[in-house]
Amino acid sequence: MELEYELNDKRKPSMSPENAIYEISHFYPMEDWQVFCFCFFFLKPGSEHFQLLLWAVTEIRLKYFDTVPVAAAMCVLKTGFLFVASEFGNHYLYQIAHLGDDDEEPEFSSAMPLEEGDTFFFQPRPLKNLVLVDELDSLSPILFCQIADLANEDTPQLYVACGRGPRSSLRVLRHGLEVSEMAVSELPGNPNAVWTVRRHIEDEFDAYIIVSFVNATLVLSIGETVEEVTDSGFLGTTPTLSCSLLGDDALVQVYPDGIRHIRADKRVNEWKTPGKKTIVKCAVNQRQVVIALTGGELVYFEMDPSGQLNEYTERKEMSADVVCMSLANVPPGEQRSRFLAVGLVDNTVRIISLDPSDCLQPLSMQALPAQPESLCIVEMGGTEKQDELGERGSIGFLYLNIGLQNGVLLRTVLDPVTGDLSDTRTRYLGSRPVKLFRVRMQGQEAVLAMSSRSWLSYSYQSRFHLTPLSYETLEFASGFASEQCPEGIVAISTNTLRILALEKLGAVFNQVAFPLQYTPRKFVIHPESNNLIIIETDHNAYTEATKAQRKQQMAEEMVEAAGEDERELAAEMAAAFLNENLPESIFGAPKAGNGQWASVIRVMNPIQGNTLDLVQLEQNEAAFSVAVCRFSNTGDDWYVLVGVAKDLILNPRSVAGGFVYTYKLVNNGEKLEFLHKTPVEEVPAAIAPFQGRVLIGVGKLLRVYDLGKKKLLRKCENKHIANYISGIQTIGHRVIVSDVQESFIWVRYKRNENQLIIFADDTYPRWVTTASLLDYDTVAGADKFGNICVVRLPPNTNDEVDEDPTGNKALWDRGLLNGASQKAEVIMNYHVGETVLSLQKTTLIPGGSESLVYTTLSGGIGILVPFTSHEDHDFFQHVEMHLRSEHPPLCGRDHLSFRSYYFPVKNVIDGDLCEQFNSMEPNKQKNVSEELDRTPPEVSKKLEDIRTRYAF
């Protein structure tokens, strides 16, 4: 059956009709159809009419193909790949190796008759028809996160509990690019430099690796293996200062006593230094060589059309000693690079012209805060263009990168016409002087900067990135291209030569994942050993003991159900069933039913990721809270308290009670020694150490407990929390309680009277999921609807309040709206749009300022940073205002109404929106900048500065 719909002119596709997809609001009435129908809309080429095909389904046939994780969506590509977007956890790309139509798997049909209660069964197995090709990291869902430098790396790591069920993991995120080590080989000594060169300009891959030592040069040939050669033409008895491919097929070697020009036919031309002078620094590219002699004298060489290297007649005397130099690569279709950058010992960088009309004349100068260590001119951020001759090349901006001896990197724009330097960006990289090396990443030039850490400055998806490498300290590097590694890096570290590859460009973090058994709920860090104590809890799950018991029971039932003549076969099948051990992380765990819980308590080393101790809780005990604390009456011993619910049913809600398990940490925080368990009436959902005792939220009761010999001893309680305590924060004598529905309640503990007294609360209802203290009066919180707020007590708040058990107080002094007499003020509201499950005030970079880091259920990590000046606040407020109008969201939704979805947005500026300034069209950037009385580079610099001050 075909139905035709005529398209109005306004709905004609702008793309080719074959690729167009339309949503039609009219459907053929199908009340009389009693079968499933497949409906396809398609548009014939050249036609303006839709055709709707309906097929009636009479039978469905199914066959087991392969097992993949539970997916939110799947997509089969024309090239024979299957992409699986997992519901939780990493996403996968498979290649379809077989279609599964020729195997012996049984086929099931909807036409097969079945008795009531019967169903079809199949046997799961490892992948047979699919081949795993790639894996895309996904943090979703993040259930808890803590930020700390447990590995003593100076930069803190993010410890993230994520995943669901058997596919859960603890992931350690480090800021930096993941480095793949392709090869490591030892050298006969400690080298001081390394380069790679090609034999011919048309060659795709490098031919030689040149390694320079204090008194020698080693030449290695790149082939099937890397081996030493002696017939390359390079002088091996002297250290090398630089080397490069010159022209189409010649090589140049610069060493302290001269320049060696090696032609393709192995003829060698040598230029020797005059008198007792030596070459101290040099810069080379495909057609030019510039050397600096002792005393600051510059000598310039350029290659003529015949391939000869000619010295320019005049020499340039610099005003101070030269400490570094750089030449840009020769642009496509040109004879030379126009600019030479020279760093002098007087803390300046000079740009010198190499144009024949004004050769070796100074063009511009930049004063530096410290002595330069290295320079590198690169062309970055360009787009590919084709010139008149069909030559392809990228046209971008010229940047002069300056590495200083105090560990700072400067990036300055170099004007391609005048040679002027402008728009300087600054970044601190490390404690050592910064060395710079030009490499290639994704077909474009990039800069590798080496200090106490190695960093890569590159352009990716129209944005500049400066990201550290998650690798040990390197000393010298060069780009490397071979068949196995087309865009690699060859580097030296002490006496080793390393070939490295960087694959996940654009990533902010690299991650290491350690598998867990159940869904992780929370974890705490033991302060002395830095070990993690993790609680994992799954609903609808069996414990290991119950699984083994159920398996045994099923095997026995299989044997009992068989007839006399089939007993032997049934016994074999039962034995095979008992021995079968399919990994749950791939095939899933057996479902136990509603109200069935399984939990473990795990002690883990966060560096190696090995489990030091594992405590299995009983079936139907669900761990919800954990704390590590000391008690004032037990000395220096550390204790772990775990809040557990017994027989919890979620809907309709019922619980048989709960327990607080108390463990003592022994063996330097590596083992848990069980002490006792304390029964409580409700779910203990929050535990926090407090003045040598412990605060526990038992349902809606807030209690103070102390350690006893047989159980925890209740010291005092408060019964006036509204619904259910979801979190507890403490500071001094104050306790800030998060209620599951009624926001925050401030409680004062009076030690002399042994009372917990409510003295303030919030005026708004909030379904609080997590909270973090910012200072004595201020708390940040998030709710389950995706809002983040900061709430503060007014300056005149008095926490010296008394309870009124007799009811004698004046009616107006008893509190507002049945709450506390004092109310908190809302400082900020902001709608993130994803449920936030962790908040932490922390410093993300060494020497940086504090920020508020949040993680979301969807796997997002974000930060809120405080403004330190009114000027910055006004500037970003205006940027946000202009971008709301000039750069509206793709889907057309109003930005202000989205960020105010539950509460009007207050005192927060959307940094993600502001950063979209860099991706706007140049004319729009110019319009917005003019409204702000600035230039586009100044706005970009301001955006970059606030990001690098707090984060990466």
**Residue reference for tokens 């590159």:** 458
**Count of beta carbons in the 10 Å neighbourhood of residue 21:** 9
Write the CA distances from 293 to 36, 282, 763, integer angstroms.
85, 9, 75
Instruction: Estimate to the nearest angstrom the gap between the alpha carbon of 434 and the chain centroid.
Output: 25
Write the CA distances from 606 to 151, 528, 603, 839, 842, integer angstroms.
8, 13, 9, 20, 19
Measured distance CA(816)–CA(285) in Å, rounded: 77
3-state secondary structure of 535: strand
Confirm if 749 and 827 have CB atoms less than 8 A apart: no
3-state secondary structure of 195: strand
Mean pLDDT, to the nearest integer, of 102-129?
Answer: 85
Backbone angles phi, psi at 916, to 5 degrees: -75, -5
Confirm if 52 and 39 have CB atoms less than 8 A apart: yes
pLDDT tens digit sequence for 776-814 = 999 999 999 999 999 999 999 888 877 655 444 444 444
Q: What band does 48 get if pLDDT is binned at 50, 70 and 90?
A: low
pLDDT tens digit sequence for 121-147 = 888 889 999 999 999 999 999 999 999
Measured distance CA(721)–CA(724) in Å, rounded: 7
- Does residue 30 have a pLDDT over 50? no
**Count of beta carbons in the 10 Å neighbourhood of residue 395:** 14
* The residue count for the chain: 952
3-state secondary structure of 572: helix
**Count of beta carbons in the 10 Å neighbourhood of residue 115:** 6
List, in sequence order, every residue forming a beta bridge with 756; answer none if it has no partner. 749
In the sheet with 142-148, reading across from the earlier edge strand, the strands are: 142-148, 157-162, 169-175, 509-515
Q: Which tokens go with 128?
A: 């047979």
Confirm if 101 and 820 have CB atoms less than 8 A apart: no
Measured distance CA(265)–CA(271) in Å, rounded: 18
Listed by start position, the domains of the chain span 22-136, 194-436, 865-950
What fold, for 865-950? Answer: DNA polymerase; domain 1 (1.10.150)
Of 505, 532, 509, the C-alpha closest to 521 is: 532
Instruction: Estimate to the nearest angstrom the gap between the alpha carbon of 535 and the chain centroid.
Output: 24
3-state secondary structure of 17: helix
Instruction: Estimate to the nearest angstrom the gap between the alpha carbon of 798 and the chain centroid.
Output: 44
- Please tell me the predicted confidence (pLDDT) of residue 810: 41
Helix or strand (DSSP H, E) at 7: none
**Residue reference for tokens 């708004």:** 764
Burial class (CB in 10 A: 0-12, 13-18, 19+), 778: middle
Higher confidence at residue 22 or residue 439?
439
Write the CA distances from 490 to 59, 211, 254, 377, 437, integer angstroms.
61, 10, 20, 20, 11
pLDDT tens digit sequence for 676-717 = 999 999 999 999 999 999 999 999 999 999 999 999 999 999
Asked: is 194-436 a CATH 1.20.1250.20 domain? The reply is no
pLDDT tens digit sequence for 731-752 = 999 999 999 999 999 999 999 9
Q: What band does 403 get if pLDDT is binned at 50, 70 and 90?
A: very high
**Count of beta carbons in the 10 Å neighbourhood of residue 614:** 15
Whether the link from the prior residue into 937 is cis, omega within 30° of 0, is no
DSSP symbol at 823:
B
Q: Is the pTM of this model over 0.85?
A: yes
Return the axis-axis angle of helices 544-561 and 567-579, rounded to nearest 10°.
Answer: 170
In sequence order, which residues have a C-beta less than 8 Å from that of residue 45 and are 6 or more positions away?
A: 17, 18
Q: What band does 561 get if pLDDT is binned at 50, 70 and 90?
A: confident
Measured distance CA(658)–CA(314) in Å, rounded: 90
Q: Which tokens go with 117?
A: 């209660």
